[in-house]
Amino acid sequence: MPETLRTEGLAVTLVMGRSGRPGLVADNGGLVGGLVAAVAAAVLVTLGVAARTAWLVPMALAVVAGAALNRQQHPNEPFEQMNVYQEVMEYIRRDYVTKPNLNEVTDGALHGLLASLDADSSYLSPAEYQAFLQDEKTPHAGSVGLVVTKRMGYAAIVDVTPGSPAARANLMRGDFLESVDHHSTTDLSLVAIRSLLTGRPGTSVQATAVVVHHVQPRELTLQRVKLAKAPLGIHLYPGHIGYIAVPDLRKGRAEQVRKALGMLKHRGARRFILDLRNCGSGSYRQGEELANLFLRDGTITTLQGQTVAKQVIAAQAGKFVTAAPMAVPKSRPMRVTPGSMVLRSPCLNTTWRSRNPLARAVRM
């Protein structure tokens, strides 16, 4: 059970995971608390099993509480934030049970700091950055068929490529990877996790999966294979219903959907099902172009940043295809029984059932 320790204005929760590695969660309603919690949690995780020593808990609490409470008046000053980190590091250097490797501690703290921003932000060490550049230059041909992100510190499965080694292992959206190749995913950046799941076809990767509704984690060996480019699923169902399954948003996918819409309309389709289940990879640009097929005008999306002027991506009338009634099934955030779907749609004026719509669609 998590143990919560409180001081005035700040609560710090020490959480011991299954592996016995601790983390800190702080809540004082301000940026400093979040920053210090991210740094302290990453530092404690980096220090490892020895952090379970009883005296370290109050020491860590004193560091976090004292540093945060002393800086409530200026929570957003960058130099104040650096002073917090420096003070934590000084306590670690001076009072930890053994002499710590401060390079590793700093590396772990930076990983935690970036991860606290959002799931797609990662810190890369110089070696990791060089590996990332190499992967971008010469992408690996083999993959286990998983699309992952970071949630609660671990690698969370967003989607699984049908027919892939991951799919054959019965991994599904909503499952977690606790470790990949014997590295805890809490210690890896998202870039590093994705890199480990790809590689030369025929090689394999070891993974520990935490499956929803199962008590014990599963130890898996997943082979990396060269995955064939999945085609669109296209079918015309009774009631003039055109069905299109989009497996991903790789380059050229929006143009394929445009041609499929034209073909189905020519065959008599008056209403459409655009199936986006398991569509978890691809580019933003393809997503914008796909949306434009169903929008004659108006805003599709906007792009804005701290130092970037707001950009509006608007629909272009020349790319518009149809305004016919349409339903869009999406992947659920939890595990569901594969191979079945019931769609009740007022816009289609029907209840549509299929035991395996994607399989039937690709066999047409």
pLDDT 10s digit of each residue in the chain, 364 long? 444 433 333 343 333 333 444 433 334 434 344 444 455 555 454 555 444 444 444 444 444 445 444 555 555 566 677 788 888 888 888 888 888 888 888 887 887 788 788 777 878 878 888 888 887 787 778 999 998 988 888 899 988 888 899 999 999 888 999 999 999 998 888 888 988 999 899 999 999 999 877 788 999 999 999 988 888 999 999 999 999 999 889 899 999 999 999 999 999 999 999 999 878 888 889 999 999 999 999 999 998 888 888 999 999 999 999 999 999 987 665 444 444 444 444 444 444 444 433 333 333 3
Instruction: CATH 3.90.226.10 in the chain: give the residue spans.
Output: 233-362
CATH superfamily of 126-223: PDZ domain (2.30.42.10)
Question: For tokens 């434009």, what's the residue?
Answer: 292
C-alpha closest to that of 245 among 346, 341, 349, 316: 341
Give the number of other Cβ atoms within 10 Å of residue 358's Cβ.
Answer: 21
pTM listed for this prediction? 0.61
Segment holding 220, helix H or strand E: strand 218-223
What is the C-alpha separation between 208 and 197, in angstroms, rounded?
A: 13
User: Could you tell me where in the chain the CATH 2.30.42.10 domains are found?
Assistant: 126-223
Return the bridge partners of 99, or none. none
User: Which CATH superfamily, name and number, covers 233-362?
Assistant: 2-enoyl-CoA Hydratase; Chain A, domain 1 (3.90.226.10)
Shortest CA distance to 26 belongs to which of 73, 62, 52, 79? 62
Nearest alpha-carbon partner for 105 in 94, 120, 118: 94
Rounded to whole angstroms, the Cα distance separating 233 from 364 reads 8
